[in-house]
Homo-oligomer: A and B are copies of this chain.
Amino acid sequence: MHRTRVRVVEDALDANNTIARANRADFDRASVRVVNLMSAPGAGKTTLLERTLAGLGAVRAGVLEGDVQGSMDADRIAHLHVPVVQLNTDAGFGGECHLDANMVRSALAELPLADLDLLVIENVGNLVCPAEFRVGEDARAMVASVTEGEDKPLKYPLMFRACELVVINKIDLLEHVDFDLDRFLHHLDAVNPGVERMLVSARTGAGVEQFRDWLARRAARAPAPV
């Protein structure tokens, strides 16, 4: 039975990759660079986007919000007058714990791709499955909050390994939590040596210009290899 289960999963991943490539072809044709933004629930992805998307200057950004249920995050982003589409994953089952390429594909028609330079896909809050499903993105970034503890790179290695950027958020709380930053960085380098990282507080705004600059640089880059 175990073998059967694994085979089904591999088929599903194979189908996902095929659709992810189709998404990427559409993004490339429209000259839109795409960032898949991931984190645990409540790590601060939406607040970070609120802080950074408004000041992107000439870069025309859009957002695809992935949530099990509700449109609270999309409503927050819409206040910035940024094009945003909410994708809910609760259609079947008790709710999918990640976005996959086909869900993203189903939203493409709702997105004004021709008017965008950058699309940020905010994934469902989860440190496991979102890292397993490509959605057609050029780059993957994650937000890790200092309130989550310094052991997380070792406990969720695929997520930390899959990303080109790790944003360490809520640094305004460093003095109030038991979080050894050096130890976290040591664990991070153990699973993804030298990965780009930045320290920010989306709440206070400290350091968020680093993320804004990173988004702007991604938007200006040639497409990454699929």
Partner of A72, one of B41, B148, B154: B154
A30 at the binding interface (Cβ < 8 Å): no
- Quick check: B158 and A94 within 8 Å, CB to CB? yes
Known: A147-B145, A173-B173. A70 touches B40 (CB 8 A): no
Known: A147-B145, A178-B203. A95 touches B42 (CB 8 A): no
Docked pose: A13 CA to B41 CA in angstroms: 24
Residues of A1-34 contacting chain B, CB below 8 A: 1-2, 5-6, 8-9, 12, 15
Partner of A128, one of B9, B126, B149, B172: B126
- Quick check: B131 and A94 within 8 Å, CB to CB? yes
Residues of A83-103 contacting chain B, CB below 8 A: 92-97
Q: Interface residue tally of chain A, by bracket?
A: 35 or more
Docked pose: A125 CA to B8 CA in angstroms: 24
Measured between beta carbons, the chain B residues less than 8 angstroms from A94 are 128-129, 131-132, 158
A214 at the binding interface (Cβ < 8 Å): no
Docked pose: A151 CA to B46 CA in angstroms: 12
Q: A1, A12, A155 — which one has the most chain B CB atoms within 10 A of its CB?
A: A155
A137 at the binding interface (Cβ < 8 Å): no
A68 at the binding interface (Cβ < 8 Å): yes
Q: A2, A67, A128, A145 — which one has the most chain B CB atoms within 10 A of its CB?
A: A128
A220 at the binding interface (Cβ < 8 Å): no
Docked pose: A5 CA to B41 CA in angstroms: 26
Residue of B nearest to A158 (CB): B94
User: Closest Cβ of chain B: how far from A170's Cβ, in Å?
Assistant: 7
A152 at the binding interface (Cβ < 8 Å): yes
Partner of A40, one of B6, B40, B69: B40
- Quick check: A41 and B156 within 8 Å, CB to CB? yes
A208 at the binding interface (Cβ < 8 Å): no
A81 at the binding interface (Cβ < 8 Å): no
A177 at the binding interface (Cβ < 8 Å): yes
Q: A124, A129, A152, A173 — which one has the most chain B CB atoms within 10 A of its CB?
A: A129
- Report 11 cross-chain contacts, Cβ distance below 8 Å, ordered by A residue: A5-B92, A6-B92, A8-B8, A41-B148, A68-B158, A95-B128, A95-B156, A124-B128, A126-B127, A177-B203, A178-B203
